[in-house]
Copies of this chain bind each other. A is one copy, B any other.
């Protein structure tokens, strides 16, 4: 444990925005302003690149109502970035940290951000600049190790479950396209696509099939499943991860990379469009894909209140860890109990988090590879917050 420091703090937001990452920022700012050993709280505009370029703002000069308003504002208010810190940046970084007397460094982000956090931590030690470095987890992908789950995930998971419920009822009413594929974020991990299954309370509810990147899809079996479901109930709703892969292990989205548009340019189709085309061709059943894209990570109205609250708390916990003299850690979420759901914060070494990905464990997907298991549902259910809405169906008693 380092000696207690005194000086300025800086905070950045990295990677893809979420509905909850500004809650973490609010937690960092409010907690930091409450600690007398932290003189100024600076924000880096556009993540680490902004720091390197000296684009720093004084967050202590924001009005308290704006800082509090961050908790209901989606996306990354400081601006984000995907710059990967490298050795070429070290001199500049050291200079900026010293020039601004940065003694507390907070970085909110996912795997790449944990790598940045780790490098910053090492660099500070190497150049003898006393500074605590703490990472704050964030990713809708939920793929950080060492933490039970990631702030941002619960909200995007709630969005996904609601999309399945609502688009599912839509398909139930009119099946112009009997196969509806909803393409869900998740290039390498299926946590979000699997969360679609939280929408399902009875067999006829959507989604009927769920495909995740962890399990290459048996396309013959998929087409058989789709055809059988379409025969039985007239419609099929599929929750499909954008990173879903075919039997050869290649992304479905790559399979249609050969598309040329009318202007003669290669056009990258998503997994959903590729699968819709395949299903139509093989089964003769019309299929279409809804692809909400960035909307699913940006929706505040559909956010999980549990997620927003936890995101705020990890931000505060990061500051407390730093002022306690800890460095080189990422705050984690520790589930004490699932029912009732109780979750506290913990700490993990950033080296243990950086550049690793947590995939859906084998026991979270059924044997057929086409649906999450009850174990997954138990894991995910508390994270989406308030119970999902109770929609009604008519009893439809024949005349």
Binding site for B on A (CB under 8 A): 13, 15-17, 40, 42-43, 45, 55-59, 61-63, 65-66, 69-70, 72-82, 100, 162-163, 166-167, 169-174, 176, 180, 182, 255-263, 265, 267, 269, 273-274, 277-278, 280-281, 288-295, 297-302, 389-399
Partner of A398, one of B56, B174, B257, B299: B56
How many copies make up the complex?
Answer: 2
A172 to chain B, nearest CB (A): 7
CA distance A357 to B32 in the complex (A): 58
A393, B77: Cβ atoms under 8 Å? yes
Residues of the B chain whose Cβ atoms lie less than 8 Å from the Cβ of A395: 57, 61-63, 66
Residues of the B chain whose Cβ atoms lie less than 8 Å from the Cβ of A302: 301-302
A392, B173: Cβ atoms under 8 Å? no
Partner of A290, one of B65, B100, B294: B294
A180 to chain B, nearest CB (A): 7
Partner of A280, one of B56, B166, B265, B297: B265
A292 to chain B, nearest CB (A): 5
Query: Closest 3 A-B residue pairs measured CB to CB?
Result: A290-B293, A69-B392, A75-B169
CA distance A262 to B73 in the complex (A): 41
A222 to chain B, nearest CB (A): 14
A170, B263: Cβ atoms under 8 Å? no
CA distance A280 to B267 in the complex (A): 10
Partner of A261, one of B166, B269, B293, B299: B269
Partner of A174, one of B43, B79, B301: B79
Residues of the B chain whose Cβ atoms lie less than 8 Å from the Cβ of A398: 55-58
